[in-house]
Each structure stands twice: as structure tokens, then as C-alpha cells.
Chain A
Amino acid sequence: MSDPSSINGGSALAMVGKECIAIACDLRLGNQSLGLSNNFEKLFQFGDKTFLGLTGLATDVLTLSETFRFKNNLYELREERSIEPSTLANLVSSTLYEKRFGPYFVGPIVAGLNSKTNEPFICGFDSIGCIDFAKDFIVSGTASDQLYGMCESLYEPGLEPEDLFETISQALLNAVDRDALSGWGAVVYLVTKDKVTKRVLRTRQD
């Protein structure tokens, strides 16, 4: 009931395809049962081909997105290049572990393509920064149980970009429909080696 990670609601999901990745989230922000906003994005871009998804307590989603923007901007100035997905993953991990005994109540996911090899990378974290590497899909948020179910049944390896988009969209949409705290719109980012496409999905508004 007063579990911090399910006050505001929201879910996110990432999938690996053939030389591409997709990352998606819902748009709801609520206060317990009351819906406040249907325009609250939980995905943040770093560099050209890397994304971070943050679900959980909304104040921590905002705080961490600002913290990572801060750290990433300094990284880019120092290194004169954009951050790699695997580097971002370790940055997220160490930043979360700094607060080991008073954690941020979030479930981050990272997805992206390596800037040189274009190799897909996805991973997820618990609230204190333990990395969960995966080669297929990563789920997070209040609909994570439903998302596991949808992904287990719909996902197949080596999907082409457009098929991956369809798979991730259906997995997210049908999972959040079975969660009272998620939904109210969705966005999907599809990342291929030379393009990032953003699609806003029309969903039921109840």
C-alpha cells in the first residue's frame, strides 16, 4: 500500500532484435489510485544510441534523470565522445549503490547499441544497483509480472526492426492493460545503427 515503488505506478521494457534494440514505457503518473498525468515519459536518451528507462517513485525518477544528465554531460566534455551503453550501465550501478542504505526507489533499465560495433546491449537493475545482464528482454515497473508473461510468450531472437517494434508494442500494451497503475499512453523508441525512431502509441485511457 505505502510501498514507495508503487505509489506513482508506471512500467518500462527493453528488447534486443537483429542489430537493433527497442525500449518502451507507459505514460501514466498517478498518486495511488488517482491518475495525474498521461504525459510522463520515463525514458531518457544519452548520446546517439543509448537510452535509460526509469520506473518507480516519480520523485526519484526525476532526481536520477537529472543526476545522470549531469554526470553524462561532464563525461561527454571530458572524453569528447558519447557514452557507451555498457559504461552507462556501470555508471547507473555505482550511482545507485552509493545510496545502499537509503536507496532510490527505482527500477532502471538501459538499452543501446555500441557506438563502434553496433552490438546491442540491454540490462536492468535493482534499486541498489545490482546489474541484471540479459540478451533477450528486460522488464521493470508495476506491471513487471505481466510484462514477463507477455515477453516470454511473444519474444523471439533475431527480429528485424519493424517486427521488434510490433513485438515490444504488443507486449507493453497488453501487460499494462492488466495493471491499474500503468498505461494511459505509451512510447516506443526503436534504435538501429543509423536511426532512432520514436513512436507514441494510442492506448485505452482508463
Chain B
Amino acid sequence: MDIILGIKVEDGTIIATSKAATRGISVLKDSDDKTRALNARNLIAYTGESGDTVQFAEFIQANIQLYSMRENDIELSPKATASFVRNQLATSLRSRKPYQVNVLIAGYDTKTDTASLNWIDYLGTQVELPYGAHGYAAFYANSLLDKHYRKNMKIEEGLGLLKLCLKELETRMPIDFKGVYVKVVDKDGIRSIEGY
């Protein structure tokens, strides 16, 4: 029942991930960050089988950073990053024990000055979307975003829209997800937004 939610706006992409780490009926932690920075302008957010998630995200993180080390600090674009992650999941799907990890990748491409949000599930299904979420949160968040999302929104407006989604999720989700961490990826890099 983890929540990971992404909204792409004109000049960046917003990612929100729930703080609760749960196991069975217990909340083990209320400050769990379900994201990893892959490089300066690529952020991965993940949910799924505990154990697999962090292992997979850090494996991807290590590979993306290895690429930059080999290539004189040139960084992989969001499109290439997402394709690489998809490829890893699709390969894993037909292995003896597949990673059960669903991810969102928020990125900002400095070559084309465009923000992007990639939705990838554990099967390796990949789509580039204006907004998206995994799990049950998707049902509530998507219907709200379908109604209120506009192209060419600024980050501030996107954050306003995110507030709306979180209010709905707090009302409708059956368990307390302990609030969210919010991060923005834009031309200046990855930054956290406080106060959520």
C-alpha cells in the first residue's frame, strides 16, 4: 500500500513517496525514503517486495554512476536511463527469481530542456506519462489528475495539485501512510520540498 506518485510539469517533475515502511500489520518506520538519486537529474522512486526494492534501486544507481565514471562525467539522459531500467526488469522477469519492483523515474534532459516521467512496472512495461502512480494510490490519484491536470503548469501549480491528491489519499486510503517526501527534478537538479 505504499504510495509513489509523479507529476510532470512544464519545467520539472515532482515525485511524492509515502514515509511509512510497513510489514504485515505493523508500521516499522515513519521516515522511509523510497527514492534514490541516479545522477544529477534522474531520480528513481520505487515500491514492491521489500528487500528487492532497495537492492534493485541501488543496483541501478551503481550502474548509472559507473556509466558516468567511464564516460568522462557525461550523464545518461532520462530516456536512456528509463530504457536501461526497463531492460533490466524485462530480463529479470524471465529469470529464476524476478525483481518485484515497480518504479517511477523523474528526469530532466538538459540537451532538449524537457522534463519527463517514466512509469515502469516489474514486468518491464514502460510508458512516458504526464502523471502516474503505482498501486492503489493510482486509482484515486489518476481520477483527480485527469480532472485537474493541465499542460504547461509551473512547479508551484504542480505542488498545489499534489496537495489535492494527498488530501484525497489521506481520506480514502485505509491505512495511515505517515505523510510523504516530496522531491522535484528540474534544470537545477534534484531537491526536496519541505512541509509535507
Residue numbers of A with Cβ under 8 A of B are 7-8, 29, 31, 34, 36-37, 40, 57-59, 62-63, 102
Residues of A contacting B123 with CB < 8 Å?
A: 7, 57-59
Does the CB pair A102–B94 fall under 8 Å? yes
State which of A7, A40, A63 has its C-beta within 8 Å of the C-beta of B127: A40
Looking across the interface, which residue of chain A has its beta carbon closest to that of B120? A59
Residue numbers of B with Cβ under 8 A of A are 86, 89-90, 93-94, 119, 121, 123-127, 129, 132, 138-139, 142
- Report whether over half of chain A's contact residues are helix, strand or loop; otherwise say mixed: mixed
Does the CB pair A36–B124 fall under 8 Å? no
Question: What's the minimum C-beta distance from B88 to chain A, rounded to whole angstroms?
Answer: 12
Does the CB pair B90–A29 fall under 8 Å? no
Does the CB pair A29–B142 fall under 8 Å? no
CA distance A4 to B123 in the complex (A): 10
Does the CB pair B127–A29 fall under 8 Å? yes
- Report whether over half of chain B's contact residues are helix, strand or loop; otherwise say mixed: mixed
Question: What's the minimum C-beta distance from B169 to chain A, rounded to whole angstroms?
Answer: 16
CA distance A102 to B98 in the complex (A): 15
CB-CB under 8 A for A29 and B125, given A34-B138, A34-B139, A62-B86:
yes
CB-CB under 8 A for A63 and B121, given A29-B127, A34-B142, A36-B132:
no
List 15 additional contacts besides A8-B125, A34-B139, A57-B123; criterion CB under 8 Å: A29-B125, A31-B121, A31-B125, A34-B138, A34-B142, A36-B119, A36-B127, A40-B127, A59-B125, A59-B126, A62-B90, A62-B125, A63-B90, A63-B124, A102-B94
**Total A-B contacts with CB atoms under 8 angstroms apart:** 36
Does the CB pair A37–B129 fall under 8 Å? yes
CA distance A34 to B137 in the complex (A): 12
Residues of B contacting A57 with CB < 8 Å?
A: 123
Question: Taking each of B89, B127, B132, which has the highest tally of chain A beta carbons within 10 Å of its own beta carbon?
Answer: B127
Q: List 23 A-B contacts (CB under 8 A).
A: A7-B123, A29-B125, A29-B127, A34-B139, A34-B142, A36-B119, A36-B129, A37-B127, A37-B129, A40-B127, A57-B123, A58-B123, A58-B125, A59-B86, A59-B123, A59-B125, A59-B126, A62-B86, A62-B90, A62-B124, A62-B125, A63-B90, A102-B94
Looking across the interface, which residue of chain A has its beta carbon closest to that of B83? A66
Residues of A contacting B86 with CB < 8 Å?
A: 59, 62
